[in-house]
């Protein structure tokens, strides 16, 4: 969150968020709410432009 706030709190647009969240929902680490890999609330993390998927390789990358 510090990285996100110090970067000006950038968010991805709605279409990018939908694409990212769809990739999370298809991931075996997704529990229906949390990501088992990074323990984030996937719906929220996928909105933050400074964040990326922790899987190897990442399912989606940061935008900033």
Q: For residue 38, give the nearest of 62, 58, 19 by alpha carbon.
A: 58
Mean pLDDT over 9-29 rounds to: 96
pLDDT for res 17 = 97
Euclidean distance between CA atoms 4 and 1, whole angstroms: 5
For residue 9, give Cα distances in angstroms to 2, 15, 28, 41, 55.
9, 18, 29, 17, 23
Q: Which residues are paired to 11 by β-bridges?
A: 48
* Phi, psi of 47, rounded to the nearest 5 degrees: -85, -20
pLDDT for res 8 = 86
21 or 5, which is more confident? 21
- Three-state DSSP class for residue 53: coil
pTM, entire model: 0.88
Q: Kindly report, residue by residue over 41-59, the tens digit of the pLDDT.
A: 999 999 999 999 999 999 9
């Amino acid at each position: 969150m510090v990285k996100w706030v110090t970067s000006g709190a950038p968010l991805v647009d709605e279409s990018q968020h939908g694409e990212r969240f769809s990739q999370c929902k298809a991931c075996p680490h997704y529990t229906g709410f949390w990501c088992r890999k990074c323990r984030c609330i996937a719906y929220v993390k996928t909105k933050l432009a400074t964040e990326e998927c922790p899987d190897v390789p990442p399912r989606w990358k940061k935008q900033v």
